[in-house]
Structure 1
Amino acid sequence: MSEELHDVRLVVNGTTHHTQVPARRLLSDALRHDLALTGTHVGCEHGVCGACTVLVDGKPMRSCLIFAVSAIDTEITTVEGLTEPDGSLGPVQQAFAECHGLQCGFCTPGFLTTITAGLAENPCPTHDEARDMIAGNLCRCTGYQNIVKAVERAAVLIEERTS
C-alpha cells in the first residue's frame, strides 16, 4: 500500500513551488529531494546541530523538525536565497569567505541562515552577542573564532550596503 500524498505549495527563496509529499515528509527532505535545493544540510536529524537551519518567515528554524505540510503559507529562505539579486555573495556569505569562517562547509548553510536572522534582529552585536547568536549551531572544524569574526564583519558589510 502506498502512502497518501498531499499537495503543498512552498514559497522558497521567493519562488512558489508545487509538489506532493507524504504527511510526514520533513521540510529538510522536501527542500533537498523534492525541490533539489541541496544547500540545506541534514546532520543530526534531531534539531541539535543546526546544519539544516532555514528561515521561516524570517526566523531561524530547524528544517529537520518541521513537516513540509506545516510550512504551507510561509516564506522559506534557504542558503541559496541569501545571495544578492545579481547572484553575488550576500553580506553574510561574503564575510564568511573573507574571515575564513568555514572549513569542511557542512555546517555553513545553517550558520549563514542563523546569522542572517540574528543580524536582522541585532544589526550591531557586541562580541559576546555575536557568540550568543551562533550558540545553537555546532561546528566540528573551526573552533568558532573565525565564525564570530564573520558575524562581526557581516554586520559592517550590511551597514555599508544600507548606508
Structure 2
Amino acid sequence: MDARFAAESQVTVTTTVNGELRTFTAPAHRTLLDALRNELGLTGTKSSCTEGECGACTVLLDGKAVNSCLVLAAEMDGHEVVTIESVSRDGVTDLQEALLKEGAVQCGFCIPGQVMSAEYLLSHTPEPTVEEIRSAMSGNLCRCASYNRIVNAILATSKKRVSTGE
C-alpha cells in the first residue's frame, strides 16, 4: 500500500448537536450519519441504504431535513444538527403518539427518519394537505408499508397542534 494512504486524514469538527456544542475528530471521509453514531454515540439516527434513497437517516441540518448519509461530517463544522434524540428528549411526542395510535409503527426502523421529516414539514406547513404530506414524506421508505397510517398520524398531529396553538 502506498505510504500516502497509510495514515487516514482526520478532521476536527465543532458543531452544535441537539443544542449542545460538540467537538470531535473523525476520518475526513466520515459521513454525518456515521459521525453521529460512532463519534457522538447518537444511534437513534438509523443507517440503512447509505445512498440517500430511504430516509432512515434523516436529521435536521441548520433546520433543513437532510439525509445524513449524504453529508460529510466535515461539512457540519459550525452548523447545527438536530437528531431524533433531541425531538424525543422529553418523552414521546404528540407525533410519535399519533404514529402509535394509527398503528404506523410496525418494525419501527424507519420511524426516526419519518419523525424528523414530518417535524420538518409541520414546522414549515402547519396545516398540510394529504398531497403535501405525501410529497414531503416521499423520501422516506417504510418496508412495512404503513404509508397511509403515517399520513393519517401526521394529519392528526397537524389538527391537534393547530387546535391547541402549538
TM-score, normalised with respect to structure 1: 0.92
Which has the higher Rg, Structure 1 or Structure 2?
2
The aligned counterpart of 1:114 is 117
Matches within 5 A, 1:58-97: 58-83=63-88, 87-97=90-100
The aligned counterpart of 2:165 is 162
Contact kept? 1:54, 1:113, Cα under 8 Å: yes
| Residue 129 (str. 1) matches residue 132 (str. 2) | yes
| Residue 7 (str. 1) matches residue 12 (str. 2) | yes
For residue 150 of structure 2, what is the amino acid of its counterpart?
A: I
The alignment-based identity, stated in percent, is 39
The size of the alignment, in residue pairs, is 161
- Using the alignment, how far apart are the partners of 2:7 and 2:94 within structure 1? 45
1:103-133 CA deviation, whole Å, 9 max, x = no partner? 1111111110000001111100112222222
SS in 1 for 2:38: helix
For structure 2, the residue ranges without an aligned partner over 5 or more in a row are: 1-5
Contact kept? 1:102, 1:142, Cα under 8 Å: no
Contact kept? 2:16, 2:80, Cα under 8 Å: yes
Deviation at 1:160, TM superposition (A): 4.3
| Residue 100 (str. 1) matches residue 103 (str. 2) | yes
TM-align CA RMSD: 1.5
1:12-43 CA deviation, whole Å, 9 max, x = no partner? 11111111011110000000011110000011
- Using the alignment, how far apart are the partners of 1:35 and 1:161 within structure 2? 35
Deviation at 1:161, TM superposition (A): 4.6
Deviation at 1:58, TM superposition (A): 1.2
The aligned counterpart of 2:145 is 142
User: Structure 1 residues 9 and 160 mapped into 2: Cα distance closer, same or farther (>3 Å)?
Assistant: farther
For structure 1, the residue ranges without an aligned partner over 5 or more in a row are: none
TM-score, normalised with respect to structure 2: 0.90
Deviation at 1:91, TM superposition (A): 2.5
- Using the alignment, how far apart are the partners of 1:15 and 1:97 within structure 2? 29
For residue 101 of structure 2, what is the amino acid of its counterpart?
A: E
Contact kept? 2:61, 2:82, Cα under 8 Å: yes
User: Structure 1 residues 156 and 138 mapped into 2: Cα distance closer, same or farther (>3 Å)?
Assistant: same
